[in-house]
């Protein structure tokens, strides 16, 4: 009935809904959430780019590792604060209060920018303000993403959120386009030091829309947390994880840790080289203008990739093929940068600009698309706990770990190389490129390890009746099963895959298994024929 009514739509708006895969009753909630995420992200991106420019111009990139370490502590701490707020006030209030807490310090930061005469513990107020601004930016990104995710999960059920969340999450990418191209105008009319106030106003506007949304749909927000019976509490504990499950979860955590380490290494070296390229007195404005244009172009490509390429790529080459694109691309471009710098064809800076562009482009599109799929083999009762552990603990921890790695590399460079010699920065940059290459190879190895256990865990979940159609990406799952049947070496894995196919796709199991019969052993052929006859 629903499909027939959709086919009869003739208006432009109805055709647009069909192209976006939305239902008419979802439009208002989706657009309001998109507006909230876009407005808050525009404010945060303006704040980030202006903070980076001020910090690099006045204090240099060599202090960035301390920011990475401190932001890891701040990020984890604010995650606990968010959890505590949900215990003392209704959720529909928490999501609004969080945005107001994010915005409040931005108005205060303006009074500390440029004040070098006031000293606190031997450090100028200007340095402390800029340092805290950068820490606050990193923390605000974490809170904004968490707030958006939790709000969307309350407003939409599991079927709706699969259609609506890709549109909502693209608000960050659209914000990158808007804020990137508009930042030069903001700098011209308001000045670099006043960007914090404008950023704060954007976040306040976003909180106003979220207040309206939470009041209009307050039935979606419970006034108290869900109650779990005592007899079921043990089932939701992650303390007893062992065996194949533990062997999958550990590489899964390492996957996201290495992804963050690689991101931070590229981030640091990009800003370090950018500082070297702008040593003049008006370097802050030049850096801000360059970063604004870079962000605008990058976000345009991100939006196009997210809307038109990500899902199609996953369907065509599979989840793990898609996940491997970024580390392989990082390795190729790392070798490109290394070769170019060694031969003198181009500077390390050019290679890192390209590497940064690729990392940002794929990190927030392909990795964001494939990441959630990797949690699907986990039993439902521990899946959310593991995701919270990865996103709320492991990722902030890996940012701090990256800061420590950078400090060690800088110390080794100063110890083994002569900082006073010309070309010291280029040689130091090459060492970081080598670290990026090593991270890329390690990431590929972890992806391969996860891939080898992915299907096996899905089979175990299906065998225990824990795997439902709504829980997994069925196309990606069937692709993984077929790949195992074609290329797998273990007979046990192949038997499990045939059993899994018979449970998840009874209607098409014959079509899938028939072309594979010639490459199967006699035992597998017999099992396949029995399954095909039964279905």
Query: Tell me: the pLDDT tens digits for 408-419?
Result: 988 988 888 887
The predicted structure's pLDDT at residue 308: 73
The predicted structure's pLDDT at residue 37: 94
Q: Using alpha carbons, select from 363, 361, 351 the residue that is nearest to residue 426.
A: 351
Domain co-membership, 393 together with 448: yes
Q: Using alpha carbons, select from 350, 393, 328, 290 the residue that is nearest to residue 53.
A: 290
Range of the domain at 431: 242-452
Domain co-membership, 341 together with 406: yes
In a domain, 5, yes or no: no
In a domain, 345, yes or no: yes
The predicted structure's pLDDT at residue 282: 62
Two tokens at 386?
């593991």
The predicted structure's pLDDT at residue 323: 87
Domain co-membership, 122 together with 179: yes
Two tokens at 355?
């590497």
The predicted structure's pLDDT at residue 306: 76
Bridge partners, 120 (sequence order): 123
Domain co-membership, 284 together with 421: yes
In a domain, 121, yes or no: yes
In a domain, 457, yes or no: no
pTM here is 0.71
The predicted structure's pLDDT at residue 7: 46
Domain co-membership, 275 together with 374: yes
Domain co-membership, 386 together with 503: no
The predicted structure's pLDDT at residue 6: 43
Long-range contacts of 157-160 (CB under 8 A, 24+ apart): 158/470, 159/470, 160/23, 160/26
Domain co-membership, 315 together with 204: no
Distance CA 488, CA 452 (A): 9
The 10 Å Cβ neighbour count of residue 110 is 15
Radius of gyration of the chain (CA): 25
User: Which residue bears the tokens 């030091």?
Assistant: 193
Q: The domain that contains 208 carries what CATH number?
A: 1.20.1250
Q: What residues of the chain score a pLDDT lower than 70?
A: 1-13, 15-16, 18-21, 158-159, 162, 222-244, 279-283, 311-312, 314-315, 368-369, 371-373, 376, 380-381, 383-385, 387-388, 392, 455-456, 458-480, 487-490, 504, 535
Domain co-membership, 216 together with 328: no
Distance CA 59, CA 271 (A): 12
In a domain, 34, yes or no: yes
Rounded to an integer, what is the distance from CA 307 to the centroid of its chain?
A: 16
Distance CA 26, CA 143 (A): 25
Coil vs helix vs strand at 473 = coil
* HSE of 61, CA atoms in CB hemisphere, 13 A: 23
Distance CA 406, CA 133 (A): 21
The predicted structure's pLDDT at residue 107: 93
Q: The domain that contains 357 carries what CATH number?
A: 1.20.1250.20
The predicted structure's pLDDT at residue 103: 94
Distance CA 304, CA 173 (A): 9
Domain co-membership, 93 together with 189: yes
Coil vs helix vs strand at 119 = strand
Per-residue model confidence as pLDDT tens digits over 462-507? 555 555 444 455 565 666 677 777 766 567 777 777 877 777 677 7
The 10 Å Cβ neighbour count of residue 338 is 18
> Of 163, 194, 224, at which residue does a domain stop?
224
In a domain, 496, yes or no: yes
Distance CA 413, CA 221 (A): 53
Q: Using alpha carbons, select from 219, 221, 160 the residue that is nearest to residue 24.
A: 160
The number of distinct structural domains making up the chain is: 3
Bridge partners, 123 (sequence order): 120
Domain co-membership, 265 together with 314: yes
DSSP assignment string, 13-39: HHHHHHHHT--GGGHHHHHHHHHHHHH
Domain co-membership, 392 together with 322: yes
In a domain, 306, yes or no: yes
Query: Quick one: how many helices (H) and strands (E) in the chain?
Result: 21, 2
The predicted structure's pLDDT at residue 233: 43
The predicted structure's pLDDT at residue 262: 92
Distance CA 151, CA 139 (A): 18
In a domain, 125, yes or no: yes
Element (H, E) at 370: helix 368-370
Domain co-membership, 167 together with 63: yes
The predicted structure's pLDDT at residue 149: 79
The 10 Å Cβ neighbour count of residue 406 is 26
């Amino acid at each position: 009935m629903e499909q027939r009514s959709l086919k009869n739509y003739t208006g432009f708006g109805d055709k647009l809904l069909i192209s976006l895969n939305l239902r008419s009753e979802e439009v208002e909630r989706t657009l309001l959430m998109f507006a909230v995420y876009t407005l808050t992200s525009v404010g945060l991106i303006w704040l980030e780019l202006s903070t980076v420019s001020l910090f690099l111009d006045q204090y240099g990139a060599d202090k960035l590792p301390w920011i990475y370490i401190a932001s890891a502590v701040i990020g984890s701490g604010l995650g606990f604060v968010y959890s505590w707020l949900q215990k003392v006030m209704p959720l529909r209030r928490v999501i609004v209060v969080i945005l107001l807490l994010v915005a409040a310090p931005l108005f205060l930061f303006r009074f500390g920018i440029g004040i070098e005469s006031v000293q606190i513990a031997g450090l100028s107020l200007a340095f402390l303000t800029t340092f805290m601004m950068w820490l606050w930016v990193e923390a605000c990104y974490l809170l904004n993403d968490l707030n958006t995710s939790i709000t969307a999960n309350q407003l939409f059920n599991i079927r709706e959120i699969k259609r609506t969340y890709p549109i909502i999450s693209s608000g960050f990418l659209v914000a990158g386009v808007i804020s990137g191209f508009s930042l030069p105008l903001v700098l011209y009319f308001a000045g670099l030091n006043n960007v914090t106030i404008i950023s704060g106003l954007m976040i306040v506007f976003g909180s106003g829309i979220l207040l309206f949304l939470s009041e209009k749909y307050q039935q979606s927000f419970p006034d108290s947390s869900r109650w779990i019976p005592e007899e079921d509490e043990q089932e939701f504990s992650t303390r007893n994880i062992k065996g194949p499950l533990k062997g999958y979860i550990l590489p899964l955590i390492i996957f996201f840790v290495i992804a963050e380490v690689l991101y931070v290494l590229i981030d640091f070296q990009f800003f370090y080289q950018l500082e070297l390229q702008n040593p003049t007195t008006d370097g802050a404005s030049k850096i801000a203008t360059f970063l604004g244009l870079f962000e605008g172009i990058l976000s345009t490509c991100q939006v196009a990739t997210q809307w038109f390429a990500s899902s199609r790529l996953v369907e065509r080459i599979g989840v793990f093929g898609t996940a491997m694109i970024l580390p392989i691309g990082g390795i190729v471009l790392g070798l490109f940068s290394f070769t170019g710098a060694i031969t003198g064809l181009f500077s390390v800076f050019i290679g890192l600009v390209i590497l940064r562009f690729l990392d940002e482009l794929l990190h927030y599109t392909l990795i964001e698309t494939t990441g959630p799929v990797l949690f699907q083999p986990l039993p439902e009762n521990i899946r959310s706990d593991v995701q919270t552990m990865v996103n709320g603990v492991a990722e902030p921890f890996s940012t701090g770990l990256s800061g420590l790695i950078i400090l060690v590399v800088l110390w080794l460079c100063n110890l083994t190389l002569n900082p006073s010699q010309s070309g010291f920065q280029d040689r130091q940059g090459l060492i970081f490129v080598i670290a990026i290459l090593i991270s890329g190879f390690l990431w590929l190895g972890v992806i391969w390890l996860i891939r080898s256990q992915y299907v096996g865990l899905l089979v175990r979940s299906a065998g225990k009746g824990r795997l439902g159609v709504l829980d997994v990406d069925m196309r990606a799952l069937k692709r993984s099963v077929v790949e195992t049947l074609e290329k797998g070496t273990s007979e046990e894995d192949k038997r499990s895959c045939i059993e899994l196919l018979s449970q998840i796709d009874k209607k098409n199991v014959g079509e899938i298994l028939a072309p594979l019969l010639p490459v199967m052993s006699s035992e597998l052929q017999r099992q396949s024929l029995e399954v095909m006859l039964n279905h």
